[in-house]
C-alpha cells in the first residue's frame, strides 16, 4: 500500500480527531472545505484533528458526520460501549437499490429486441415523474420503474435511425438519469450518485437540448455543494446560466423555470459560504423568474415555481445561520402548498432546521412529525432530519427525549 494512502480507522484504535482527519482525507476534502460546511474556522478543524480540544458535543459530532458522509456514528467516534451503531446520513439503503445499481452498471444494453417507441418512453417518464411527486414512498415507486426505463432508453439511443431521433432519444435517456439521481441521492453508494450525475450531463449535452443541459447542471450543482465543493457548484451553475439567460426573453416556460432553479441554486451555495448579500441577491433574481411563470406552474424535476420560493427562503436563512430570519421565512411560507409530496416534506424539514437553529426544539420535532406524515421516505433519508432527531434523543427533558425517540423509531434510526 502506498504511504500516501490514508490508513483504515479500524487497523488500530484511533482517537476521534484522527478519525475525522482520516475520513476527511478519504473524501478529498480540505480543512477549509470541512470548516465551511460546519460554520467554523479551519483552525477549529485543526484543533479537533490534532486533539488540541476535547471531543465536541453531540450536535457538532453529528455535523461532522454529515459533512463527511460517515455512515455509522461508531465509525467516527469509535466504540463507546453504546447502542449508537446507527445508520446516519447516507440513508439505510433502499430495497430497490441493488436492481437500480445493476441496471446502471450493465453497459451497453444488450439484446435484439426492439426498443419501445419514443412516444411510449415519453409517456412512461411522464407517469414516473407524476408518481414521484404523488407517492409518499416515492423511492419505492420509482425504484421499481427505473431498471426498465434505464434499459429501454439506452436501447432507444442505440436504435435511433436519424439525427433528430437520436437527439430526442438522448433527451429521454438524460431525463431517466435525472430521475435516477433522485433515487440514488442519500443512499450508501456515493460513487453511483456521481456516475448517474455524469451520465445525465453527458446525455443532455449530446442531445443539444438547452432545458436538459440546464437540469443536468442543476443536479450536478447539488451534488457538488453537498460534497463541500462550492467552487465547482458555482462553476456549473454559471456555465449553464451563460448558456440559457441570453434566450430568456423568448424561451419556453420550461427553460425559464430552469433558469430560476439555477439562480436559486446559486443562492443556496452563496448561503453555504455565509455570503449574505449574494445569497439574497440570487434568491431575488430567482423569485423574479417565478413571478413571471404561469399561475400554478410547477417544474416536474426541480419543483421550481412560485410556491417553492418560500421554501428556498427558509433554506437560505438557515444556511446563513440566521435563526430569527429563518423562522420568519418559515412562518411566511406556512400557508403555501407545494404540489410535490417529497418536496413538501423537505420544506417541512427545512422549517424544522429553522426552529432548531432558533432554539425551539419542540417545534422542530413537531414539524418533523408533519414531514414524516407527508412523505415518510423523504424524512427517513434526509440527513438533517436524522441529525435533529438523534440530537433530541439525548435531551435532558424526558418528554422531548421520548418524543424524539418515537420519531427515531419511525424513521429507522432506532430499533422498535
Domain limits of the chain? 16-77, 93-207
The pLDDT of residue 71: 65
CA distances for 185 relative to 153, 167, 193, 271, angstroms = 21, 27, 6, 21
The pLDDT of residue 80: 46
Sign of the C-alpha dihedral, residues 167, 172, 174, 175? Answer: positive
The secondary structure element, H or E, covering residue 276 is helix 276-291
CATH topology for 16-77 is 434 Repressor (Amino-terminal Domain) (1.10.260)
* Alpha carbons 145 and 52: distance in angstroms, whole number: 51
The pLDDT of residue 86: 44
Mean pLDDT score of the chain:
87
Cβ neighbours, 10 Å, residue 51: 12
* Alpha carbons 172 and 212: distance in angstroms, whole number: 9
* Alpha carbons 326 and 333: distance in angstroms, whole number: 11
Mean pLDDT for 14-40 is 80
Give burial (CB, 10 Å; 0-12/13-18/19+) of 376: middle
- Residue 72 pLDDT greater than 90, yes or no: no
C-alpha cell at 133: 411527486
- What tens digit of pLDDT does each residue of 374-388 get? 999 999 888 889 889
Q: pLDDT confidence of 414, banded at 50, 70, 90?
A: low
Q: Give the percent of the chain with pLDDT over 70.
A: 90
Sign of the C-alpha dihedral, residues 350, 375, 409, 78? Answer: negative
The pLDDT of residue 61: 81
The pLDDT of residue 23: 80
Counting every residue, how long is the chain? 416
- What tens digit of pLDDT does each residue of 145-192 get? 999 999 999 999 999 999 999 999 999 999 999 999 999 988 878 889
The structure's pTM equals: 0.80
Amino acid at each position: 500500500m502506498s504511504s500516501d494512502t490514508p490508513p483504515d480507522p479500524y487497523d488500530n484504535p484511533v482517537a476521534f480527531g484522527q478519525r475525522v482527519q482520516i475520513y476527511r482525507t478519504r473524501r478529498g476534502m480540505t480543512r477549509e472545505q470541512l470548516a465551511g460546511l460546519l460554520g467554523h474556522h479551519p483552525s477549529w478543524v485543526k484543533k479537533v484533528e490534532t486533539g488540541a480540544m476535547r471531543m465536541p458535543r453531540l450536535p457538532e459530532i453529528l455535523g461532522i458526520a454529515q459533512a463527511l458522509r460517515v455512515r455509522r456514528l461508531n465509525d467516527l467516534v469509535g466504540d463507546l460501549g453504546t447502542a449508537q451503531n446507527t445508520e446516519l446520513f447516507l440513508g439505510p439503503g433502499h430495497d430497490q437499490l441493488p436492481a437500480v445499481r445493476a441496471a446502471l452498471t450493465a453497459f451497453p444494453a444488450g439484446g435484439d429486441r426492439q426498443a419501445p417507441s419514443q412516444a411510449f418512453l415519453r409517456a412512461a417518464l411522464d407517469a414516473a415523474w407524476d408518481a414521484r411527486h404523488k407517492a409518499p414512498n416515492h423511492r419505492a415507486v420509482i425504484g421499481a420503474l427505473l431498471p426498465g426505463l434505464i434499459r429501454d432508453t439506452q436501447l432507444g439511443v442505440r436504435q435511433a435511425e436519424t439525427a433528430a431521433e437520436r437527439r430526442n432519444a438522448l433527451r429521454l435517456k438524460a431525463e431517466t438519469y435525472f430521475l435516477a439521481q433522485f433515487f440514488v441521492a442519500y443512499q450508501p453508494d456515493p460513487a453511483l450518485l456521481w456516475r448517474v450525475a455524469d451520465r445525465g450531463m453527458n446525455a443532455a449535452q449530446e442531445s443539444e437540448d438547452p432545458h436538459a443541459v440546464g437540469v443536468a447542471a442543476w443536479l450536478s450543482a447539488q451534488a457538488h455543494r453537498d460534497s463541500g465543493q462550492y467552487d465547482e457548484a458555482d462553476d456549473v451553475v454559471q456555465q449553464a446560466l451563460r448558456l440559457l439567460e441570453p434566450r430568456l426573453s423568448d424561451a419556453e416556460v420550461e427553460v425559464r423555470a430552469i433558469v430560476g432553479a439555477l439562480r436559486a441554486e446559486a443562492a443556496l451555495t452563496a448561503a453555504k459560504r455565509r455570503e449574505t448579500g449574494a445569497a439574497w441577491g440570487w434568491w431575488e433574481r430567482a423569485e423574479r423568474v417565478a413571478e413571471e411563470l404561469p399561475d400554478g406552474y410547477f417544474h416536474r424535476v426541480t419543483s421550481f415555481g412560485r410556491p417553492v420560493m418560500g421554501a428556498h427562503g427558509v433554506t437560505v436563512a438557515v444556511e446563513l445561520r440566521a435563526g430569527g430570519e429563518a423562522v420568519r421565512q418559515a412562518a411566511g411560507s406556512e400557508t403555501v402548498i407545494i404540489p410535490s409530496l417529497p418536496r413538501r416534506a423537505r420544506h417541512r424539514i427545512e422549517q424544522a432546521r429553522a426552529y432548531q437553529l432558533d432554539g425551539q426544539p419542540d417545534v422542530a420535532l413537531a414539524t418533523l412529525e408533519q414531514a414524516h406524515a407527508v412523505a415518510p421516505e423523504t424524512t427517513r433519508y434526509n440527513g438533517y432530519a436524522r441529525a435533529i432527531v438523534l440530537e433530541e434523543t439525548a435531551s435532558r427533558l424526558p418528554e422531548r427525549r421520548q418524543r424524539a425517540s418515537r420519531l427515531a423509531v419511525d424513521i429507522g434510526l432506532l430499533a422498535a
